[in-house]
Amino acid sequence: MQLSILGLNHNTAPIAVREKLSVPEQELAQAYKKLFADSRVIEATILSTCNRVEYYIVTKEDVDILDAIATSCGINEQTLREHSYIHCGSNALRHMVAVASGIDSLVLGEPQIFGQVKDAFRFARDHGSVHAYINRLEQFVLRTTKKVRTDTGISENAVSVSYAAVDLAKKIFGSLADKRALIIGAGEMCELAVEHLVGAGIGGITVTNRTLSKAEDLARQFAGKAVAFDKFADSLHEADIVISSTGAPVAVVESGMVKRAMTKRKREPMFFIDIAVPRDIAEDVGKLDNVYVYDIDDLKQVVEANRKEREHEATKAIELINGAVIRFEHEMDSLAADPLIVALREQTLSVFEQEFQKYCAKNPVSEEEKEKLMAMCNAMANKLLHAPVKSLKSYVGSGGSYSMAEAARLLFNLEK
């Protein structure tokens, strides 16, 4: 069996080419049908995400999968060659785990790809395009990816500004479940920050904006409440976390405002995230006790440090994957011996069975003795088969060339 991968991703192909090859869920059945129109394809799985499209193809022998896929996708072979990559054998295995672990992702270590890979295998199974080889491959990829995620820090630490802000909030408040956030502004950055806060289980959201209707829209989207921009100072004390991103030319949150809020909230900590340029939070606010202020540069500093940490972890992950691929290939090689082992065992047992029957026909043997003799025959068969079975498992994938005498010695573990 030969595993080959043809893929293109954000590094190799522009979006116009990726679009042509991308396969939405509802078109998967058709895509698999076209693939299997080529009789050389035995098993297949298609992974299609916004940043990559990959075909995992299992064939009996080496075939040019580029031509098979170009035909099935109706894309010019030359265009596909220019923008795609092809991996076979060990490289293909390494690539699959690297993809599932997020090592090959646009954002290093991002976790969503793992779910997308799992879904791809599931869809392939639903469409009947998966058999023994990809079934084992799936188990290997998922198992190794989980190990990569637990044994390395590839997915630890936020690498986006909004995630970093939520992580920082957790360093102050621990759980966010009983905390309230005030969002000043209703732009795209604010919406992204709210999404992450809601994802982290924030207790409540209040939105304020110069245009109240925009604040109301955003608040409604996340089951929060909106307040008028000229009134937000009155509810500042209710907020544990304040995220601000307005286009105001001067600070919208002054230290006097925060001091009053701190008195009202009995000096419980407040966390301000200022993602506006120019800044929305006055510089002296950060000097107040129990008040923590982070601006966009601080958050970028966190993100950069985390990204470097992930790159360091990626090196460890690659080493781990290499080891796992070697073990998997050995496991697959020894599986190739299974049909041989079964045939050998059946033949041996049948010889013993025949001889046993002959003996019983000629000699009077009680039921008790029959049982004992049968047990002895089984034990002898197992002992006889032990050496060849072990040798078959070890040497079946070695690919060496041996004379008949050498093969016999190896098979039966005979001394020279």
- Name the residues annotated as catalytic: 50
Binding to other proteins in span 356-385, by CB under 8 A: none
Residue 241 CB neighbours (<10 A): 26
Q: What secondary structure does DSSP assign to 337-403, as a single string?
A: THHHHHHHHHHHHHHHHHHHHHHHHHS---HHHHHHHHHHHHHHHHHHHHHHHHHHHHHTTT-----
List of residues 6+ apart from 306 with CB closer than 8 A: 156, 157, 158, 159, 164
Residue 143, interface with other proteins (CB under 8 A)?
Answer: no
| The length of the chain, given as a count of residues | 416
For residues 194 and 302, which CB has a smaller minimum distance to other proteins in the complex?
302
Query: Which of 314, 313, 264, 256 shows the shortest CA–CA distance to 282?
Result: 256
Name the E strands within 204-335. Answer: 204-209, 225-228, 241-244, 270-274, 291-295
Q: Shortest approach of other proteins to residue 70 CB, angstroms?
A: 47
H helix and E strand count, the chain: 15, 10
Q: Shortest approach of other proteins to residue 240 CB, angstroms?
A: 10
Among 25, 61, 289, 367, contact with other proteins (rule: CB under 8 A): 289
Strands 204-209 and 225-228: parallel
Residue 301, interface with other proteins (CB under 8 A)?
Answer: yes
Q: Which spans in 202-252 are helix H?
A: 212-221
Q: Which stretch binds other proteins (CB under 8 A): 55-63, 127-135, 282-290, 319-327?
A: 282-290
Q: How far is CA 337 from CA 189, 327, 365, in A?
A: 58, 16, 38
Query: If 0-12 CB within 10 Å is exposed, 13-18 middle and 19+ buried, where does residue 224 land?
Result: buried
Binding to other proteins in span 247-276, by CB under 8 A: 266-269
For residues 82 and 297, which CB has a smaller minimum distance to other proteins in the complex?
297
Q: How many chain residues interact with other proteins (CB under 8 A)?
A: 22
Binding to other proteins in span 168-227, by CB under 8 A: 168, 170-175
Among 121, 294, 328, 352, contact with other proteins (rule: CB under 8 A): 294
For residues 171 and 383, which CB has a smaller minimum distance to other proteins in the complex?
171
For residues 266 and 383, which CB has a smaller minimum distance to other proteins in the complex?
266
C-alpha span between 145 and 119 (Å, rounded): 14
Residue 290, interface with other proteins (CB under 8 A)?
Answer: yes
Q: Shortest approach of other proteins to residue 202 CB, angstroms?
A: 14
For residues 130 and 242, which CB has a smaller minimum distance to other proteins in the complex?
242
Q: Shortest approach of other proteins to residue 35 CB, angstroms?
A: 43
Q: Shortest approach of other proteins to residue 160 CB, angstroms?
A: 15
C-alpha span between 265 and 9 (Å, rounded): 51
What character string, x for contact with other proteins (CB under 8 A) and - otherwise, covers 149-178?
----x---x----------x-xxxxxx---
Contacting positions for other proteins (CB under 8 A): 153, 157, 168, 170-175, 266-269, 286, 289-290, 292, 294, 298, 301-302, 305
